[in-house]
Structure 1
Amino acid sequence: MTQSPSAAAPADLAHYDRTTIAFHWLTALLVVGLFALAEAWSFLPRGTSTRRLLQSLHISLGLVFAAVFVLRAVWRLSAGRRLPPAAGGWLRVASTGMHGLLYALMAAQIVLGFLFRWAQGEPFAFFGLFDVPTLIPIDREQRRFIGGLHDTVAWTIVVLALLHALAGLFHHYCMRDGVLRRMLSSR
């Protein structure tokens, strides 16, 4: 059911707080960047300096992503602005399910990233500043399985994030209910 523009007025006025908005867009940027790095190095021969540089950058940004994800979750559960649902019925169920699934997959991807690196038997170097120690020794034979799962979850996140973005555009251009503007600056 499509809402009329006058019925959408309350959603137009509601915005998330600046911290929530910043976490959302930083998460989106990191997800796209991490995915692009992994896809880019797959075209390069193994052992080349460019491939190792992209992998090192991916690992460092993955650690940033892990920190941002934890901070975002803490912020959302504690101080983040809560807005009333923009829609009811199946749209609300779909929206809640999509957000929950994205959060679960991002958390799983972080864990898989750590497990995969530990299975490789190499330290995490954070932009060359310090190494993250191995907390759980992983059998190197599990490396291929964990790596495949890490890749599958990455593709799933990207596809769902694309659907999430398309849903935002659908709300903005078809439903005209102000949902997309909620995640933009409140100015």
Structure 2
Amino acid sequence: MLVAKPLLTPRERYDHATMFFHWVTAVLVIALFASAQIWSFLAKGTPLRHNLQALHISMGILLAVAIIGRLLWRLTQGRRLSHLPGVAGLAAKAGHALLYILLLAQIVLGFMFRWAQGEAFEFFGVFSVPSLMAPNPDWRHTLGGLHENVAWALIILAGLHACMALAHHYWFKDGVLVRMWPGR
């Protein structure tokens, strides 16, 4: 087993922007998933369900902005730290790529689902997002089902990602989790 160094140097850690985008993404994904699960237990038409859906939509827009920012940062300035050799390294890269693909798919599906419903949606009541497609009941059901399935795939893969980070921290003791953890 590898033993982690007590403190990592700045070169061995992710930069602050990468950490910020990572943790904002994690919090938003969990909050979005939780809000959808909670409102599924509430009666249709209730104010609480409506407010949760409005919050979900606003957080979804925030997630879209965060993912675009994260991708732009990663492609231009972000530090990519890879230390895993062989199959483990390939699995880590494939897992990260799949997380990005699912996040992007979920954002696109969320917007399309809302547009197919023919209802306006707002960002915390500050501005409305214009529709880019006509209401379509057939698409609404298809897109809603896809949006839900991708949400489950995303939450499962993110859970595996978190489990692997914990395994690296507690079992391999190689400092992988510490590199993404804010602070010293």
Same fold (TM over 0.5): yes
Do the aligned residues in 1 keep the contact of 2:116 with 2:133 (CA within 8 Å)?
Answer: no
Give per-residue Cα distances to partners, 1:111-145, cap 9 Å, x unaligned.
00011000100011111111100123352211111
- Identify the match of residue 156 of structure 2 among 154, 159, 168: 159
Give per-residue Cα distances to partners, 1:57-88, cap 9 Å, x unaligned.
000110011001100100010011122x2211
Q: Whose RCO is larger (CA < 8 A, sep 6+)?
A: 1
Cα separation, 2, equivalents of 1:115 and 1:52? 19
Partner SS state of residue 59, structure 1 = helix
Counterpart in 2 of 1:34?
Answer: 32
- Aligned: 1:179 with 2:184: no
Counterpart in 2 of 1:22?
Answer: 20
Which runs of at least 4 in structure 1 moved beyond 6 Å after TM superposition?
Answer: none
Aligned length, in residue pairs: 182
- Identify the match of residue 65 of structure 2 among 42, 59, 67: 67
Give the TM-score normalised by structure 2.
Answer: 0.94
- Aligned: 1:82 with 2:76: no
- Aligned: 1:120 with 2:117: yes
Do the aligned residues in 2 keep the contact of 1:115 with 1:138 (CA within 8 Å)?
Answer: no
Give the TM-score normalised by structure 1.
Answer: 0.93
Residue 95 of structure 1 deviates from its aligned partner by 0.4
Residue 12 of structure 1 deviates from its aligned partner by 4.4
- Identify the match of residue 105 of structure 1 among 83, 92, 102: 102
Cα separation, 2, equivalents of 1:186 and 1:143? 44
Identity %: 50
Q: In structure 1, list runs of 5 or more residues that go unmatched.
A: none
Residue 21 of structure 1 deviates from its aligned partner by 0.3
Cα separation, 2, equivalents of 1:134 and 1:4? 53
Residue 186 of structure 1 deviates from its aligned partner by 4.9
Cα separation, 2, equivalents of 1:38 and 1:4? 41
Cα separation, 1, equivalents of 2:8 and 2:92? 18
Partner SS state of residue 128, structure 2 = strand
